[in-house]
Structure 1
């Protein structure tokens, strides 16, 4: 493996480690929220309100702004130096504050029709609609701060710093845990206290980035321009990526709309199942794509297409190395995992079964969810936004068609399965489009066969332990070690590289 591959793996490990901490805190957060809210109408109201600023974060933050910003920033820094890149970043920040300020003001004024638009089923329950509208007004300003965090993340990642941005979500989880517990202990309105916690967390997440920005020489005071050429280039790349980079989140939003037409609790079942899928996806899928984008952008700026292909293949192999066994484990242990994490308080056995079924449907798509991210990063590093938009448009159409058809007989599970189908479509379409752009670039097929065989083997082993109930979860480290040993036996390069890194760390 060359230096680019090792660099991606090293940075992905940093992001993955920080994200692992965040996901563990996220599980604690969801466990406490499940205890405080359960899975009924009040929980549905909070999750709908919370999903709106999260969608804005995906659309105008890390899902779009970061993808468009990093390649342009990297090219300017490569060609003109850090001062010009910093000026461009400040200019982007001014435009971001103006646009998001206007969007947030409109959302506050039109919160009620906005709520009806994303959850039309709530219109039949005036009390639930009123509660959700109040929560939307409290939560939505979070968008301004969290998109500012995404800009800071782009700057820091392009400068080679990954740890602080990756730790940022920990702040949200800690604040929401404190908010939920405070509301229960003080007998306050849990959804309202959680909504205010969301807003407070956004402010704190932005503040957390500032020391690292200063240490890299960046200051918010300095030259900037409304007409900065880098801003214009970022804007041209960003407009189509608003849709293209967030197809998974758009599917979730449409799923929320469709799920609101199903029995009460369906939105919550999908939310909790999605949160479980997001744990491994964040630890390796987001980590690899976050680490890969700056490297791919620098290689594209230098026109080093051979290095670009090798770095892209390394990113996909690293992604599949963990995605396939993680998917097998989630599918096999869906019910014990949900039962262990959530079955307490207002979250009863029926909710466990419903959430576990949704988790199985999502788990089948986990490798696709993860692969889409580095594939999309490759296109944005090449400053090509057309193909991801085409792929996203087609996959959303596939999701809507499958979702409407499958929810009739399968309910919320059909919506989760539709997300999986559309994500696999998106993955294969992007691979085909890259072949048209780069020629024969993929060399990870043999490794994929090994990962799949090993993943199926540990999945069957994990499934055989489900008769033990929640105690089956205790064997997860055993299956992880078995997978690693199997990968070493097959001489998988990713396993060898990680083993060598571990040996060096132990030696030090």
Structure 2
């Protein structure tokens, strides 16, 4: 399949999952508002969610795919299956032990993670139990991440992109239950937390079935630190850190926000919106790029690798730039129209919108990092992306901490400082990754790429003007379309339509190019039912 087709498959399935996730968040906000139970749930979900994004949504898969693909190309399917089985057995044992350790230590860890409610024994008990219930999800995602890498190497992207929908489906059930069965907020919290782990079991089981259907037999056995496992870890561990720097930065922000009542809930709601383009485009492109760049590297096709990077970066910016612009221009319109109801007030929406605006200008960088790391992973170079990731994490910690406490001392919302630091560090990471590729002549922006980027910027500027005018008329539009929810959908649709039309008018993309990118590549194998 072409790069655009692979990306489209993953993005479409991810969009379905995110729509359900948004529905889940509406129920969460309506049920808990920005109170202690919402802070408890976001804290309980924080660690497994970070691992899910590190593993199931790309970083581990990006590091594992070149290793597995290389063995498969040199030694055949059987040897690759043995390599995958050995890696899975060892990593699963380590992560399962880590999960158990965290569950045991959670009563001592939680007061540090949720320090704003440290003196409320009821909230602490609920938060500890909720975290212990969600923790096994990590072990499930370890299995899911490796199986996703096997499927992606085999050219099967749909199943690995589609299974995350079960996290949202499983957690929606207990959130909807209070509408039919009386449940207190703590009872709902426990049910939702347990549903997170149930969804992990379902996801791992479906991916296992998919791999078996692909004809690859992977077995769990007693963990052994074989030569293959050592090589896998040597590349995968730095790769996970490199690909997951953004998630580590998010974790640092969550930790600092734990000392501010409601701050973690604000970050959670802003996070769900600004990470939407990352999940739809950045992760999908990252997973689709690694196998293509690996083939180009192995065959010595440097020109093909550069063209692939031009296509990937152009496609990423065509989606990420307007998404970032929209979140920057109309954040309150989006949040108030969709989330504000029941326990979630317009004041909560205003606070969340201010924070979201500071994340918005970092959105293109968040996506670009996912596209700029695959060239390193394809050459089994995970050390330098790891170094760049560490630099960005250090920057987030130092700048974020300084701004968080300085803003607080001035009477401003400290969470704004965390958002600013996260966006700054993402752009620094982009500069380091892109600068290295350009310096080594692995990739450099072609004149055609620069021209297309300028046209994308122009189309985004036109859309920004329309959205800004719509934001000024928010109350009028809400009355005109009878409901604020309808108004925001109409405004977003008009903005997206105007942007797409401008792309064609400015010739940033042509209809013939769109058709060409969706054609199957010459020699591509048949698509199975998994895709």
Same-fold call, TM > 0.5? yes
Partner residue in 1 for 2:322: 325
Aligned: 1:310 with 2:307: yes
The residue correspondences of 1:61-460 to structure 2 (distance < 5 A) are: 62-183=57-178, 185-188=180-183, 189-221=187-219, 226=224, 228-262=226-260, 264-407=261-404, 408-409=406-407, 410-439=413-442, 441-443=444-446, 444-460=449-465
In 2, the alpha carbon distance for the partners of 1:94 and 1:401 equals 37
Note the C-alpha offset of 1:474: 1.2
Gaps of 5+ in 2: 408-412, 476-483, 521-531
SS at match of 1:177: helix
The Cα offsets for residues 342-387 of structure 1, whole Å up to 9 and x where unpaired, read as 1111111111101111111111111000000011122111111121
Which of 460, 467, 481 lines up with 1:462 in the alignment?
A: 467
Note the C-alpha offset of 1:318: 0.6
In 1, the alpha carbon distance for the partners of 2:223 and 2:345 equals 56
In 1, the alpha carbon distance for the partners of 2:498 and 2:93 equals 52
Note the C-alpha offset of 1:183: 4.4
Aligned: 1:9 with 2:25: no
The Cα offsets for residues 264-290 of structure 1, whole Å up to 9 and x where unpaired, read as 111111110110112222111211111
Cα 1:400–1:221, aligned 2, differ >3 Å: closer, same or farther? closer
Name which of structure 1's ranges 324-333 and 215-224 shifts more when overlaid on structure 2: 215-224
In 2, the alpha carbon distance for the partners of 1:230 and 1:488 equals 50
> Is contact 1:281–1:370 with CA below 8 Å preserved after alignment?
yes
Aligned: 1:23 with 2:18: yes
Note the C-alpha offset of 1:187: 2.6
In 2, the alpha carbon distance for the partners of 1:11 and 1:248 equals 24
The Cα offsets for residues 399-433 of structure 1, whole Å up to 9 and x where unpaired, read as 12321232232421221121111111111111011
> Is contact 1:64–1:246 with CA below 8 Å preserved after alignment?
yes
In 2, the alpha carbon distance for the partners of 1:412 and 1:191 equals 25
Note the C-alpha offset of 1:180: 1.0
Gaps of 5+ in 1: 1-5
In 2, the alpha carbon distance for the partners of 1:99 and 1:206 equals 17
The Cα offsets for residues 41-95 of structure 1, whole Å up to 9 and x where unpaired, read as 1100110111111223344554543122101111111111212111211111111
Cα 1:289–1:440, aligned 2, differ >3 Å: closer, same or farther? closer
> Is contact 1:333–1:472 with CA below 8 Å preserved after alignment?
no
In 2, the alpha carbon distance for the partners of 1:249 and 1:94 equals 25
TM-score by length of 2: 0.89
> Is contact 1:387–1:433 with CA below 8 Å preserved after alignment?
no
Partner residue in 2 for 1:486: 502
Name which of structure 1's ranges 466-475 and 58-67 shifts more when overlaid on structure 2: 58-67
In 1, the alpha carbon distance for the partners of 2:519 and 2:389 equals 42
Which of 481, 486, 497 lines up with 2:513 in the alignment?
A: 497
Note the C-alpha offset of 1:495: 6.4
Cα 1:184–1:457, aligned 2, differ >3 Å: closer, same or farther? same
SS at match of 1:173: helix
Cα 1:16–1:59, aligned 2, differ >3 Å: closer, same or farther? closer
> Is contact 1:331–1:363 with CA below 8 Å preserved after alignment?
yes
Partner residue in 1 for 2:33: 38
Partner residue in 2 for 1:3: none
In 2, the alpha carbon distance for the partners of 1:300 and 1:224 equals 35
In 2, the alpha carbon distance for the partners of 1:171 and 1:344 equals 25
The Cα offsets for residues 428-454 of structure 1, whole Å up to 9 and x where unpaired, read as 111011123335522232222211121
In 2, the alpha carbon distance for the partners of 1:197 and 1:346 equals 23
TM-score by length of 1: 0.93
In 2, the alpha carbon distance for the partners of 1:418 and 1:305 equals 36
Name which of structure 1's ranges 163-172 and 407-416 shifts more when overlaid on structure 2: 407-416
> Is contact 1:108–1:140 with CA below 8 Å preserved after alignment?
yes
Cα 1:495–1:233, aligned 2, differ >3 Å: closer, same or farther? farther
In 2, the alpha carbon distance for the partners of 1:171 and 1:61 equals 13
In 2, the alpha carbon distance for the partners of 1:502 and 1:381 equals 23
